[in-house]
Amino acid sequence: MLARVLSASPRVAERRGVLRSIGLGLITGAADDDPSAIGTYAAAGAAFGPSLLWTAPVALPMMFVVVYLSAKLGQVSGRGLFGALAARYPRWVLNTALVGVIIGNTIEAAADIGGIAAAVQLLTPLPRAVLLPAIACSILVVQVWGSYALIRNVFRLLALALLAYVGAAFLTRPPLGEVVRATFVPHIVFDREFLALLVAIMGTSLSAYLYTWQSNEEVEEEIAMGRRRLEDRIGATPAELRHSAWDVVAGMMFSTVVMYSVMLAASASLFAAGQHDVTSAAQVAAALEPLAGRAAGLLFAIGIAGAGFLAVPVMTAGAAYDFCQTLGWKHGLHARPHEAPRFYVVIAGVTAIALALNFVGINPMRALVVAGIVQGVTAPPLLALLMLVTNDRRLMGSSVNTRAVNLLGWATTTAVFATSAALVVTWIV
């Protein structure tokens, strides 16, 4: 710990902060806007018009606090989220959390692979049966044989594809007054369809894979700097934590702008045209064309494909991190396949299951929304564990959460739980 602090001079820490601001937070923020999220946001805009635009600014502080806590946990403890949980909690707690995360990640990865295929079909006539395995295999090849540095840099480039949604929203020319009002005046309808989409929005913007990925990415960065032993990674300077906070702010703002743009584009196109039920990515793109020309439809398709190729490996690798940390197996994208074979077997297994789920006849766009709902229902328990572990002085030392962070973190956990509970009530009543 002492060597860690002494080695991080203010000037070195400053340089690291500048480099991080265009790296880790951007990747996590972009991964949050995966095809499942895009499908959910598009479905919300199509079904209720601009009425749900307010969820974007409301979700921003929630997204910030959970991802920042995950980043801080990785930096201070030197472990990923499930590694930290394994150090402090009994196995039954880990196993329960692991089941929810694995199910959520696998279903969302399956929906995202299907979403990528649907988007690519807008650009090429290749059949879905050919595209699906090609997409899954190409993602797996990069994960297994690419270095961590290569994967990180590829992810940074893919994140830029999400800017396509900002362009698509701009081209739809939505009514300014109505948009401003819907952005700042919350509108809630207590029925099953509205609450299902609200849970899906909350679930997909606060997906469990974000927490585990961010904490593990922090550890991977430390290992890339030569800190392979746990004792060398423990602890973080105040400067590092401040830069981490700004890094996360930048990434979550990027994610929120994309979220807002997708809902706005769908509202101004599908909802305005009376098409309230989204069934495919092709439908969204086709609806954009009469308003904004073919460019808007192509931008939408490019955004889905780019987001999917970034997010799917985050989900499958995240599941492998969680699984291996729970069982105490060697893991990490920094390791070669022969060094951590079980880690890569888990990645391949989750990818294979996700691919297989696409051949059971589920509508791709509906699967995207269902995946968001699954994440919304499974997120509260893991959020609660994240709050508890980042307040544990035995693990975090003096870097436990401040009162303000605790207030925002527990409010976020309560809000996600309350939204999920309200949906369950509508199913029962």
The CA R_g of the chain, rounded to the nearest whole Å, is 21
**DSSP state letters, 283-344:** HHHHHHHHHH-HHHHHHHHHHHHHHHHHHHHHHHHHHHHHHHHHHT----TTS-TTTSHHHH
pTM over 0.85: no
Q: What is the pLDDT along the chain (429 residues), one digit of tens a residue?
A: 433 433 444 444 444 444 444 456 677 776 777 777 787 888 888 889 889 999 999 999 999 999 999 999 999 999 999 999 998 888 888 888 888 888 888 888 888 898 888 888 877 888 989 999 999 999 999 888 876 677 777 766 666 667 777 777 777 777 788 888 989 988 888 777 888 888 778 877 887 788 888 899 888 888 888 888 888 888 888 888 888 888 888 888 988 988 998 898 888 878 877 878 776 555 666 666 655 556 666 777 777 788 788 888 889 999 999 999 999 999 988 888 899 999 999 999 999 999 998 888 766 556 666 666 676 677 788 889 999 999 999 999 999 999 999 999 999 999 888 877 776 776 666
Task: Compute CA distances 365 → 158, 205, 368, 428, whole Å.
Answer: 22, 17, 5, 25
pLDDT of residue 293: 57
In degrees, to the nearest 5, what angle opens at C-alpha 26 toward C-alphas 25 and 27? 90
Three-state SS for 200? Answer: helix
Cα gap 235→5, rounded to integer Å: 8
pLDDT of residue 365: 59
CATH code given to domain 2-428: 1.20.1740.10
Q: Nearest to residue 105, comparing CAs of 416, 375, 380? A: 375
